[in-house]
Amino acid sequence: MSDLLIKGARIVDAGREMAGDVLIVGGIIREVAEEIPPQKGIPVLPAEGNFLLPAFVDLHAHFRDPGFPEKEDLLSGSRAAAHGGFTVVSLMPNTDPPCDSPEVARYVLEKAREIGLVEVRVVGAITRGLRGGELVDMEALAPYVWAFSDDGHGVEDHRLVWKAAKKARELGKTIYPHPEFRGLPSRELGEELMVARDLWIARRTGARFHLAHISSPGAVELVALAKEKGLPVTCEATPHHLCLSREEADHPVNPPITTREAVEVLVTGLVEGIIDAVATDHAPHTDADVAAGVPGISGIETAFPLLYTRLVKRGTIGLRTLSRLLSLVPARIMGLRQRGFVREGFVGDLVIIAEEEITVTRDFLFSRGKNTPLLGWRLWGKVHATIRGGEAIYLDGKVKGRDFDDHRQVIRGG
């Protein structure tokens, strides 16, 4: 945890906008005011009129470690997250071996702590080996995970999901389903049927459910009905499902990119609060995977500029709303308090955004995965700095550790 004074920012969070300075001491925001004088011994980071927001929190990402370092590992994924403005990332369990035991969960958490860039949270598997046949030892995994998911595949055995939900409620954890029954006439029908099944189980058990990457209009309608009933249910949508249609982005991803009409329904659900949060579903792959048509988008570095360009600059939502969707609500869903606002007493995790245009190229991406339909696109909203606990972990094209060893080399001394 570090000390830092940020000067001359346009401060925006889910609750307010103001021009001013932010003082972080010991990793915690001590003061937010129109003018804070320099403090002896505390470095100063000039924001130069750029936006200052709470750093982003990603509910849903894949860093491929253990098992697939050629796609991504915890270091490259952490660097990409910092580049994208994220300081907290929740990692899904479909690794090799999968996160179905305390040993794998501890490996991920300990390695991420050693790297020391972003805070990693872990999602444990629902079934052993992600095979859908036998529940994991949820009690043994519970100290290391915030939720349980077989992401990549929906758990089709109703009895298993029922048992998992009851156990998750007992443990105070969340069920995080991948909504898809396979082998049906359409992907949308498979999503909607599983959403309906899981919402009914949530109603009967009282367990918290958070639904991954909602993409169909019918699923949005079902979630709206569940919320009217007061069920303990939240859901997310991805930047690519909210901003891209299949007419303009021919790229394989699961669930598939949808039609313009479906995108309009998703965005309406976002505006109306039916969709609670935006999560990247960052899914890096190798060039060989891409050539073979393996689905997935490397999206943690383009999430903010894509959403800012397509939704904020067009007037669909405001920047305060986007902050709520990327920071405050994801943190609340994960049970993280004192995050999501630029306020006294909150964690000093912040991101500085410049109103500048970027071009998405392979060299722009820090992730090993270059699999994105956005290559060559020009987007607005450049991440200038990512600050975790008062320390710059990304600043003006450089990541802490590999690119600069001491943030005081690039931040004015106090």
With 0-12 CB in 10 A as exposed, 13-18 as middle and 19+ as buried, what is 159?
exposed
396: annotated active-site residue: no
Among the options 65, 100, 281, 289, which is catalytic? 281
Query: What is the C-alpha to C-alpha distance for residues 174 and 206, in angstroms, rounded to an integer?
Result: 11
Beta bridge partners of 282: 61, 297
Taking Cα atoms as reference points, which of 71, 153, 137 lies closest to residue 99? 137
Query: What is the C-alpha to C-alpha distance for residues 42 and 247, in angstroms, rounded to an integer?
Result: 51
Taking Cα atoms as reference points, which of 396, 320, 231 lies closest to residue 407? 396
Active site residues: 281
